[in-house]
Structure 1
Amino acid sequence: MSRRARRVLRRPLVLLLTLGVSACSVGPHLKLPAAPPPAHYGAHDPNSAHSAVSMSAALSWTATQNAAWWRMFHAPQLNMLIAEGFSHSPTLAAAKHALTAANEYAIAQEGSLFPTIGLGGGLQRNTAIRSVVGGRVVVPGKPFTLASAEGQISYSADVFGLQTDLIANSRDRAEVSAAELDDARIFLAGNIATAAISYAGNEAEVKLRTRIVQAQTQILGVMNSDYRFGAISDESVEQQKAVLAASKAKLPLVTAARDDARHRLDYLIGTTPDQPVPAFDLKDLVPPTNIPVVIPSVLVEHRPDIVAAMAGVKAASAAVDASTAAMYPSFNISGAFGAGSAVALFNPASEIFSLASSFAAPLFEGGKLSADKKASYALWQQATAQYRNTVLLAFRQVADALRSLQGAEASLAQRQAAATFALNAQTLARERYDAGAITYQTLLNAELLAQSDQVAALTARVTCDQDIVALFVAMGDASPTTPVDNANGSNKS
């Protein structure tokens, strides 16, 4: 390209690049909604000496505990199951791919701030309509080849910040995807823990009811002997048979519930029901006695669904700014330089270049741009309302989880005490029945009460453990990435 051509091409580029650098966004730049957290979660302050609600949970939360709350149960099998889920869950894999796509779209959008440079060329074989050879006109003319090669450059100056606003929107959408990935991790860990506890609880109930059936079978054998010697009536024997049959009828239902929990666990960790899973026993769980609870301000800052909702508000605000900037003119410049010749492509005389600049200003588009701006503003209002709803729901979920856990802990203590007393009463009743001091009906009542209280205590234990998991899930995860290492069960918290 000649010096003159380069000089002519340089000036408009410098001008538009300067405009691009000094671009300013003309959008309204809507403010983010404020969400002042309450002083505490429940209707009563748990730290107050006059509170009517007794809170056993401590308002303390370390990064180590929050990053892997399930390790606070000190159960290596549970750690292994959650690690398996993080590695093989299709749901989590889908969320990871969604985040990758969102990040790549954001990078692609950032490319709009830079000039685009391309290279083109061609080779064309033509025949002239007429040509002169040695002073004589030849029809048709002599064939010739036309060759061309050129470089192209174009640039859109972001004078009013349209591209900047679109980039901000894509970045905020990527932030939404990142928060959704964290949320998927939290719910996956919570669902795995809940399913594992259900599986272990049902397995423990199967063993308990099996022992009950065995004990009742032994009692029936003793009663049959007593009946043959005339010590008891046939009515007592028939009652014992009915109790035994009822106990046997419950066993298949509990076994089916155990298998259902196992199948749910298989699904969550990304495997099929025919594959083995780590053995898990309810006795392996050591629930934390002093549960750390995030304070409300930390909940708003770090709970993933709240972070995602806030990022959605920012993305909607950027969309409002972009729809506003779209109502202003756009400036573009394009240029091409190269060579084209039917004789010698790289001959200086064959140099070609072109330069064009343009701007476009919307004057009348049937109300489209105005409607787009109003629609984007309405979507921002929607995102803002959804953010407030998400915050309120988070406070409610934590408050509900805390209150449920309080009730579950109190119930578990009473159920365990009742089971202990009922077992003692059953032992005493059996001894007195063997000594002939009480009737069979008294013994039967003691047995049924002991069995009922044992099952109730087991159910209360499962409920309490699952309520602890629900509280951890409600509090969310303050760490940006949930670690999946150290799955061998060591607990450093």
Structure 2
Amino acid sequence: MGARNVIAMATFSCITLMTGCVIGPDYERPEVEVPEQWRIDYRSASDLTNAKWWQQFNDPVLDGLIETALKENLDIRIAAGRVNQFLGQLNTTRAEFFPQLGAGGGVSRNRISEETFGSTPGSDPYYTQYEAALGASWQLDLFGRVQRQTESVQAQVYASEQGRRGVILSVVTGVTSSYVALRGLDRQLMIAQETELSYKDSVTLFKLRHSYGTVSQLEVDQVESQYQLALAAVPLIEAQIAAQENLISILLGRSPGAIGRGKSLDNMTIVGVPEALPASLLTRRPDIQQAEQNLISANAAVGVAESLYYPDISITGNFGQASADLGDLLDSSAKIWDIGASITAPIFTFGRIEGQIQSAEALRQQAEDRYRFTLLSALKEVNDALVSTDKNAQNYQALKQREKALLSYAKLADMRFENGAASYLEVLYANNELFQAQLDTVSSQIDYYSALIDVYKSMGGGWVDQAVDMVEPVAESSPDASLLMPEWR
């Protein structure tokens, strides 16, 4: 039987055998109880989860900041590098399905023993050997070890891509929240500066009145205390603004520096609350998808460990030329070839394989518990964000009304003082309350906007896909969208 026929028969037999069993458990998604509705219902909810919701603020500057962050943010680049890392591992693992081909050649100078059986007395014991050959080896995956390894690494690729999507989600919501907070701080700084100037004029006026004896030194000191209170608030707010600008700069992948401004907080359009059911989180949130892919990977690793009980079968072959004279190396009579097979199987391992299986099963259980915890945490985050949005809206409206009432109170107190019907202590109290109420109202407005943003972050949604499209592709060898977002089982 010729070498070609032997190789062909061996290959056919291997392919036939490879269609056999695959060791290890097949993946099944764990059952997790998911409520049918959220704790709070928004009747006027709009389905904005698949749109670029940040554009609803109608602030071109914010849109530009997000676009820059999606292109330059270093966390996104690190996450993309992690995807490429697992893609490389996947290519390495898949290669084990196929024969490994190689080539080699060499020359050696040798001496044989003159005392060995068959040697001719007086013959030259030295000789030179020239060789050139092609070699092939193939480890048969009869029991699915390589298939389970590939399944595990492929799930890691999917998980790393979902991790990248999660980073993109965090960057978009992070930039938006930080920008809203920055515009709120700008508004608070404006309030403090306007109050400072107003109190400064009052100090000048009261000092003039004191010189004419119409007000006491006590009243001058009271006005001075108001002025210093507003003056002290300015540098604190300026420090917060600088820190917020530095934070946004880092999200943009830049050195800390100034950030451009667009619309004021009051002129921004309030975005609607997205509509989604709890069960939709399974396909919306990257962290849940990532946790499930990690579970799939851990489940396949159990099969890899169990396959260690079964034999490894390898086929090897070489075809080439060998000659003692370099000039004869290409002659047909110099041909050499060999083909062989080997099998190795464990007999006594004294618990080594059992220990590996035990570790793999423990990791699988950890991954399953982490998946359940991630899903429950996601449900909590959405409920928290929806409740926070509703309650912050109520808080903001109440503080706005309080600010309006205190503004009227401050004006009336000032009129009563000017008419001699009240002491300046009443004016001082009213103005201090008004100043703090104005700052509190802006803080509540920031909290309300931030809660809305948290709803989009916690629900995930198709908008993440649109944000991903704005990011530079991972690599030319990256799996397409259908691979990075597999159908749910």
Normalised to the residue count of structure 1, the TM-score between the two structures is 0.88
The 3 A distance-change label for structure 1 pair 124 and 409 is same
* 1:235 paired residue among 218, 226, 229: 218
* Gaps in structure 1 of 5+ consecutive residues: 47-54, 131-135, 488-493
Q: For residues 359 and 94 of structure 2, what CA distance do their matches in structure 1 show?
A: 25
Q: For residues 4 and 264 of structure 1, what CA distance do their matches in structure 2 show?
A: 72
* 2:14 paired residue among 2, 16, 29: 16
* Gaps in structure 2 of 5+ consecutive residues: 115-119, 472-489
The 3 A distance-change label for structure 1 pair 349 and 175 is same
- Secondary structure of residue in 2 paired with 1:481: helix
- Secondary structure of residue in 2 paired with 1:277: coil
CA contact under 8 A between 2:49 and 2:456: conserved in structure 1? no
In the other structure, the counterpart of 2:367 is 383
* 2:5 paired residue among 7, 11, 22: 7
Shift of 1:323: 1.2
* 2:302 paired residue among 320, 323, 326: 320
The 3 A distance-change label for structure 1 pair 288 and 385 is same
Alpha-carbon deviations, 1:263-284, whole Å to 9, x = none?
111111111124x432245337
Shift of 1:331: 1.3
Q: For residues 139 and 149 of structure 1, what CA distance do their matches in structure 2 show?
A: 27
* Matching of residues 450-461 of structure 1 within 5 Å: 450-461=434-445
Shift of 1:23: 3.3
- Secondary structure of residue in 1 paired with 2:20: coil
Shift of 1:220: 1.7
In the other structure, the counterpart of 1:189 is 172
* Matching of residues 171-190 of structure 1 within 5 Å: 171-190=154-173
1:31 counterpart = 2:18: no
- Secondary structure of residue in 2 paired with 1:37: coil
1:116 counterpart = 2:100: yes
Q: For residues 261 and 122 of structure 2, what CA distance do their matches in structure 1 show?
A: 95
The 3 A distance-change label for structure 1 pair 9 and 291 is closer
1:299 counterpart = 2:288: no
* 1:150 paired residue among 111, 125, 133: 133
In the other structure, the counterpart of 1:51 is none
In the other structure, the counterpart of 2:87 is 103
The 3 A distance-change label for structure 1 pair 444 and 62 is closer
Shift of 1:95: 0.3
Bigger CA drift: 102-111 or 306-315? 102-111
* Matching of residues 244-283 of structure 1 within 5 Å: 244-274=227-257, 276-283=258-265
1:339 counterpart = 2:337: no
CA contact under 8 A between 1:293 and 1:475: conserved in structure 2? no
In the other structure, the counterpart of 2:207 is 224
> Number of paired residues?
464
CA contact under 8 A between 1:61 and 1:294: conserved in structure 2? no
Alpha-carbon deviations, 1:68-87, whole Å to 9, x = none?
33222222111111222111
In the other structure, the counterpart of 2:73 is 89
CA contact under 8 A between 2:48 and 2:272: conserved in structure 1? no
Q: For residues 235 and 462 of structure 1, what CA distance do their matches in structure 2 show?
A: 38
In the other structure, the counterpart of 1:410 is 394
Give the letter aligned to residue 337 of structure 1.
F
CA contact under 8 A between 2:22 and 2:144: conserved in structure 1? yes
CA contact under 8 A between 1:75 and 1:286: conserved in structure 2? yes
- Secondary structure of residue in 2 paired with 1:209: helix
1:58 counterpart = 2:58: no
1:442 counterpart = 2:426: yes
- Secondary structure of residue in 2 paired with 1:152: strand
Give the letter aligned to residue 233 of structure 1.
S
Q: For residues 23 and 270 of structure 1, what CA distance do their matches in structure 2 show?
A: 52
- Secondary structure of residue in 1 paired with 2:234: helix
Q: For residues 454 and 407 of structure 2, what CA distance do their matches in structure 1 show?
A: 32
Shift of 1:254: 1.3
* 1:463 paired residue among 423, 432, 447: 447
In the other structure, the counterpart of 2:292 is 310
CA contact under 8 A between 2:138 and 2:316: conserved in structure 1? yes
The 3 A distance-change label for structure 1 pair 5 and 317 is same
CA contact under 8 A between 1:74 and 1:285: conserved in structure 2? no
Bigger CA drift: 356-365 or 224-233? 224-233
Shift of 1:316: 0.9
In the other structure, the counterpart of 1:206 is 189
Alpha-carbon deviations, 1:388-439, whole Å to 9, x = none?
1001100111111111111110011111122122223333443454444543
RMSD over aligned Cα atoms: 2.4
In the other structure, the counterpart of 2:345 is 361
Alpha-carbon deviations, 1:27-82, whole Å to 9, x = none?
1225221234211221xx52xxxxxxxx466163452x2xx332222221111112
CA contact under 8 A between 2:308 and 2:353: conserved in structure 1? yes
- Secondary structure of residue in 2 paired with 1:282: coil
Shift of 1:485: 7.5
Q: For residues 372 and 81 of structure 1, what CA distance do their matches in structure 2 show?
A: 49
CA contact under 8 A between 2:314 and 2:341: conserved in structure 1? yes
The 3 A distance-change label for structure 1 pair 413 and 193 is same
Shift of 1:239: 1.0
1:393 counterpart = 2:377: yes
Give the letter aligned to residue 294 of structure 1.
A
CA contact under 8 A between 2:25 and 2:300: conserved in structure 1? no
Alpha-carbon deviations, 1:224-253, whole Å to 9, x = none?
222222222221111111121122122211
CA contact under 8 A between 2:22 and 2:145: conserved in structure 1? yes
CA contact under 8 A between 2:168 and 2:464: conserved in structure 1? no
Give the letter aligned to residue 45 of structure 2.
A
Q: For residues 484 and 157 of structure 1, what CA distance do their matches in structure 2 show?
A: 40
Give the letter aligned to residue 309 of structure 2.
M
Q: For residues 285 and 171 of structure 1, what CA distance do their matches in structure 2 show?
A: 47
